[in-house]
């Protein structure tokens, strides 16, 4: 067997988790979250059928909180969030809960949370389920499994099969490749509820709000440039946020004005970058699984393939994040 430890191999294959590029990706997503929490919701690309993984419940939840901790740290760095500080409490081990009004036997469970001053998302794992609840922060201390007063925001079902674990979310296959997006949805939910942008009784949906409400952009100005070309004065006024230079034709009822169309276009590019980076992360997670499995059989060819391909994808991710950063800087007049 190779001397490379399992943890070393994992760190070498997925070394992007804590580097500057992961931080840059998070910054881009948080920027979208600041402008519109609904737009920041990402659709989870789940499989039709669940995949068996050698990742037990505690390891899955631990990875989930790796991402949540990073998002919380990046969010709290921004001084504009001073009034909405977020706290992340990782599960500290397995607890046992006994209440015969809720369960016929003692229940062993893991529990952690992400919270603001007023609201929290609690993650509980027990009896073949991983549940997320949106609750008032003042009931965190006494919140335990089976609380009859709260319905789960999200419910992941686990099934053991031949020593591996299969997971489903809303009857779709969920794997470790989805953990990053899953953490973003959980973090985004506590922010939305804290900002009164969502209800604490809202239930999780696979499709994002943004994709369910796609805007059909007005293209009526395409045929005649004179309808939308702006003078320098109009452009400067638009950049100040007044939008006075928008043409009457484009600002009619039910149509987006010129400033709104520019904003929608910018948002589309930002979302595309986030989607591509998410796809790369999913591929990196798959390569991690390949590498871990290959290590168990000492298959160095497969291990080297996973590491080399991961490096290529990581370099590609660097370029996409650099582009996203340049795009953001240019649009905000920083270059």
CB contact at 8 A, 247 and 238: no
Confidence check: pLDDT of 215 > 60: no
* Beta pairing class for 87-89 and 154-161: unpaired
7 sits in which H/E element: helix 6-13
User: 37: pLDDT confidence band, cut at 50, 70 and 90?
Assistant: low
Tell me how far apart the alpha carbons of residues 133 and 60 are, in angstroms, rounded to a whole number.
Answer: 17
Mean pLDDT lowest among 53-62, 120-129, 162-171, 255-264: 255-264
Strand partners, 88: 114
Domain boundaries, given as residue ranges, for the chain: 44-206
Confidence check: pLDDT of 312 > 50: yes
Tell me how far apart the alpha carbons of residues 187 and 71 are, in angstroms, rounded to a whole number.
Answer: 8
Mean pLDDT lowest among 14-18, 51-55, 203-207: 14-18
Contacts of 30 (CB under 8 A, 6+ apart): 71, 74, 75, 78
Residue the block writes with tokens 């709000």 = 209
pTM of the model: 0.59
């Amino acid at each position: 067997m190779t001397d490379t430890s399992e943890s070393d191999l994992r760190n070498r294959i997925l070394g992007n988790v804590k580097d500057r590029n992961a931080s840059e990706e998070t910054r881009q997503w948080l920027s979208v979250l600041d402008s519109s929490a609904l737009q920041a919701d990402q659709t989870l690309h789940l499989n039709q059928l669940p995949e068996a993984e050698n990742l037990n419940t505690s390891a899955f939840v631990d990875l989930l909180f790796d991402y949540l901790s990073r998002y919380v740290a990046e969010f709290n760095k921004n001084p504009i969030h001073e009034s909405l500080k977020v706290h992340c409490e990782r599960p500290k081990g397995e607890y046992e809960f006994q209440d015969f009004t809720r369960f016929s036997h003692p229940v062993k469970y893991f529990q952690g949370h992400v919270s603001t001053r007023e609201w929290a998302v609690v993650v509980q794992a027990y009896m073949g389920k991983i549940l997320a609840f949106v609750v008032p922060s003042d009931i965190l201390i006494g919140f335990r499994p089976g609380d009859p007063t709260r319905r789960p925001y999200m419910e992941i079902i686990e099934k053991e099969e031949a020593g591996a674990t299969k997971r489903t979310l809303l009857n779709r296959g969920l794997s470790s490749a989805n953990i990053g997006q899953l953490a973003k949805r959980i973090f985004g939910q506590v922010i939305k509820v804290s900002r009164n942008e969502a209800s604490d009784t809202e239930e999780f949906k696979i499709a994002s709000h943004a994709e369910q409400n796609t805007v059909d952009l007005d293209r009526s100005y395409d045929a005649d440039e004179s309808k939308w070309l702006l003078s320098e004065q109009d452009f400067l006024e638009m950049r100040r946020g007044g939008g006075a230079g928008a043409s009457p034709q484009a600002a009619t009822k039910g149509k987006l004005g010129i400033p709104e169309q520019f904003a929608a276009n910018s948002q589309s590019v930002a979302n595309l970058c986030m989607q591509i980076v998410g796809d790369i992360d999913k591929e990196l997670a798959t390569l991690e699984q390949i590498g871990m499995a290959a290590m168990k059989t000492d298959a160095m060819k497969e291990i080297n393939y996973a590491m080399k391909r991961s490096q290529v994808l990581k370099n590609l991710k660097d370029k996409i994040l650099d582009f996203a950063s340049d795009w953001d800087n240019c649009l905000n007049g920083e270059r």
